[in-house]
Every structure is written in structure tokens, then in C-alpha cells.
Amino acid sequence: MIYKTFYKSPVGEILIVSKDNKLIGLWLEGQKYYLANLKEEIKEKDDEEILVKVKNWLDKYFNGEKPKISELDLAPIGSNFAKNVWKQLCKIPYGELTTYGEIARKIAKKMNKNTMSAQAVGGAVGHNPISIIIPCHRVVGTNGNLTGYAGGIDKKIMLLEHEKVDMTKLYIPKNSTALF
């Protein structure tokens, strides 16, 4: 059975979803790919152990603490390639950034390849089913472009500001309507 609960956060309402007492999804309201890949019936259960742990983790995060991802049992649904990208995302420290290109280089090395498409990495980052906890908001374009957040650039900016990231060299892509 898949269970869900909701969490009210400074960046909006969050849907948290578990299966077999593991976190399989965390989506911001209105996020692209909301509930993607889930075909089973979903039942609301606010007292499910992992869902309570995730809410506590989010409380710590939004209170300015730096909870560890390892505190939670994650089981994101996706291809092996996507899971490898998401594992790389989990290595980005709180308050720091990386680029799609840097992740592509790390994935290429892991797969014993000379190169890897940053666009392929971007696709996997964009389909991250466990936003915030698997910190896809910490990934930017090589030139400081704040592109590529399924929850919306405005939410990405809020999360980066919350983590006190230096935003002076970052910019919003021209095709976005978000404002600093």
C-alpha cells in the first residue's frame, strides 16, 4: 500500500508519499511530474512511521538545521541512470551548489565513459521524485543559470536563500517569470 500525508512549508504545501515504510515521493504543490510513476491506490495516513520521520526532517530543515539525508530511508522510483544521478545529488552539501556538467562528469567516470550528456543528467534531475531531501535545487547551469527546477524557479530561489547560498553570480533565465 502507498501512503501519503501533507506538510505545510514556507515554500507551500508538500505531498509526502511512502511505500513499505520507505519514502518514495515528496512533491511541492503544482510541481511538474507530481505523483509521476505511481499507479497504485494511495491512502492518506498521517501516522505512518516514515511519513512522521520526513515531517520531522522537514521541520529541522526549515528551522535552519542541517538534517542528514541518511536519517531517512529513501526508495525513489526511476531508472538505474536516474537513481545514479539522484545519488550524486545527495552528495551536494547543504548551502553549496554544483552544475549539471559536474554531475555528468561524475556519472561518466562511474560508468567508465569519457563523456556524459549534461542534458541527460538534467532530465534525471528534473524528474527527481523526492524534492528538497534529494537536493536538486542545488544544481545550476555552468554559467550560473538557475534553470531546471520542476517545483518552479521561485521555489528554487527560496530554498537556496534559506540555505544562505551566495546568489550574486546566479541569474534567472530569460524565459522565466520568477523574480529575486
Would you name the residues annotated as active-site residues? 136
69 close to 134: Cβ distance less than 8 angstroms: yes
Give me the sign of the Cα torsion angle 17, 82, 29, 7: positive
